Amino acid sequence: MPGATFAGRYQVIEELGEGGMGKVFRVLDKKLNEEVALKVIKPEIAMDHKTLERFSNELKIARKIVHKNVGRMYELMEEGDTHFITMEYVAGEDLKSFIKRSNKLSLGTALSIAMQVCDGLAEAHELGVVHRDYGYSTLAGLWLRTWLAS
């Protein structure tokens, strides 16, 4: 799929992973000449109009979140029968890979990661956003921004 163009605008660079909602790709937004992440929502989820409406409403709120530990959300879009979300691409290793590579985290590292995740989630919750799809891979760059700077 690398090199393929999605929705006439997004050139696929690589697949980043797959989660409960769908597959996530690193893409080049050819209109803006900028890399973004693009999550293709699973068809069985996208078929539920109430779920799509909820995503749309949550996205409106999520776009207001500006926090160093939270990736920005851009748009919920549709191409034919395929629904997808564009969001900030954050380069870096995901948390699951980091933990596997590290073998064992020090208490300080584990606490630093936990605090950064909690800070980001607290900001989202203040605006009424409840994250329904986070796990190791979702935390790809949320904690790395601060971690790498320290």
Asked about 48 being catalytic, the answer comes back as no
Of 54, 2, 64, 60, nearest to 28 by C-alpha is 2
Tell me the CA distances in angstroms from 106 to 79, 84, 147, one per residue in order.
Answer: 45, 38, 14
Selected catalytic residue, list 29, 48, 81, 133: 133
**What does the alpha-carbon distance between residue 146 and residue 142 come to, in Å, rounded to a whole number?**
8
Looking at the annotation, which residues are catalytic?
133
